[in-house]
C-alpha cells in the first residue's frame, strides 16, 4: 500500500477485473459497504485524486465496482492487488475498544509480563470472534480477540498486551 496510514484508510482491495466494461472485483476491508455506493468517491492506490463510484453490486462475497475513468478491461487489468482508500477523517466512529484493521495490523504483541510474542500480521474472521495471527520468534501464535485475552491496545506505542489463557500456546 502506498498511502500513509495516518491520512488514509484502506476500504477495499482489488481482486481483478470482471467482464469487459471496466468493472473490478473488490474484497471489502470495511464493515461499511455503503462506502461503495454510486456517487461516493475513493482514492485508488497511489493516485492523488478521487474517483467516483459509478456503480456497485454484490457478487460472490465481494463487490463489483465501476469507477469513473476506467472504461474497459484493459484499463483495470493492471489494478489487481491495488487498494481503494478513503481519507481517514471520513472514517465512521467506532465504539470504545473497537479498532480498524489497519490500525492494529503491525502492532507488536506482548504478554502483560512483557514477553514479546511477535507482530500482528493478519486478522482471521471467524463466526464467533476475530483471531489475530501473530508471527514472532517462537513462530505463529493465534490470539483470540476476546476481552479475557486482549487486555490493552496502545496505538501510540504500537503495542497490544495480552494474557495467554492456559492451552493457548504450547511452547514446552
Q: What is the mean pLDDT of residues 129-140?
A: 93
Q: What is the mean pLDDT of residues 7-29?
A: 93
From the centroid of its chain, how far is CA 104? 9
Residues of the chain with CATH 2.30.30.240: 101-162
- Asked if pLDDT for residue 167 goes beyond 90, the answer is no
Distance CA 81, CA 13 (A): 6
Helix residue ranges per DSSP H, the chain: 73-76, 101-104
Please tell me which residue, 74 or 7, carries the higher pLDDT value.
Answer: 74
Q: In which residue are the cell numbers 504483541 written?
A: 109
CATH superfamily label, 101-162: PRC-barrel domain (2.30.30.240)
- Name the CATH code of domain 8-90 (choices 1.25.40.20, 3.30.360.10, 2.40.30.60, 3.30.70.60): 2.40.30.60
Contacts of 16 (CB under 8 A, 6+ apart): 24, 25, 77, 80
Closest CA to 2 of 47, 32, 50: 47
Q: How much is the pLDDT for 81?
A: 92
Quickly state the pLDDT bin for 172 (edges 50, 70, 90). low
Which has the minimum average pLDDT: 3-7, 48-52, 135-139, 144-148? Answer: 3-7
Task: List Cα–Cα distances, 35 to 6, 56, 98, in angstroms.
Answer: 19, 10, 19
Q: What is the mean pLDDT of residues 123-130?
A: 87
> Over pLDDT 70: what percentage of the chain?
95
Q: How much is the pLDDT for 170?
A: 77
Residues of the chain with CATH 2.40.30.60: 8-90
Per-residue burial over 80-106, b if 16 or more Cβ lie within 10 Å, else e, is eebbbbbebeebeeeeeeeebbbbbbe
Q: Which residues pair with 18 in a beta bridge?
A: 23
- Asked if pLDDT for residue 4 goes beyond 60, the answer is no
Mean pLDDT of the chain: 91
- Asked if pLDDT for residue 5 goes beyond 60, the answer is no
Q: Which residues pair with 139 in a beta bridge?
A: 136
Q: How much is the pLDDT for 1?
A: 45
For residue range 83-125, list pLDDT tens digits in order. 999 988 888 888 888 888 888 999 999 999 999 999 999 999 8
Closest CA to 84 of 150, 29, 143: 29
Distance CA 172, CA 163 (A): 17
Count, residues in the chain: 172
Quickly state the pLDDT bin for 68 (edges 50, 70, 90). very high
* pTM of the complete model: 0.71
Amino acid at each position: 500500500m502506498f498511502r500513509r496510514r495516518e491520512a488514509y484508510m484502506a476500504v477495499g482491495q482489488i481482486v481483478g477485473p470482471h467482464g469487459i466494461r471496466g468493472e473490478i472485483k473488490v474484497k471489502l476491508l470495511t464493515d461499511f459497504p455503503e462506502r461503495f455506493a454510486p456517487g461516493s468517491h475513493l482514492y485508488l492506490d497511489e493516485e492523488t485524486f478521487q474517483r467516483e463510484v459509478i456503480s456497485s453490486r454484490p457478487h460472490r462475497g465481494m463487490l463489483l465496482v465501476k469507477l469513473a475513468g476506467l472504461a474497459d478491461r484493459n484499463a483495470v487489468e493492471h489494478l489487481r492487488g491495488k487498494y481503494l482508500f478513503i481519507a481517514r477523517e471520513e472514517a465512521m466512529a467506532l465504539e470504545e475498544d473497537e479498532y480498524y484493521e489497519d490500525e492494529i495490523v503491525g502492532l507488536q504483541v506482548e504478554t502483560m509480563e512483557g514477553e514479546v510474542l511477535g507482530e500482528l500480521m493478519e486478522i482471521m474472521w471467524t463466526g464467533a470472534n476475530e483471531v489475530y495471527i501473530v508471527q514472532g520468534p517462537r513462530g505463529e501464535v493465534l490470539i483470540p480477540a476476546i476481552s479475557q485475552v486482549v487486555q490493552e491496545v496502545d496505538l501510540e506505542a504500537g503495542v497490544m498486551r495480552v494474557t495467554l489463557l492456559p492451552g493457548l500456546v504450547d511452547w514446552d
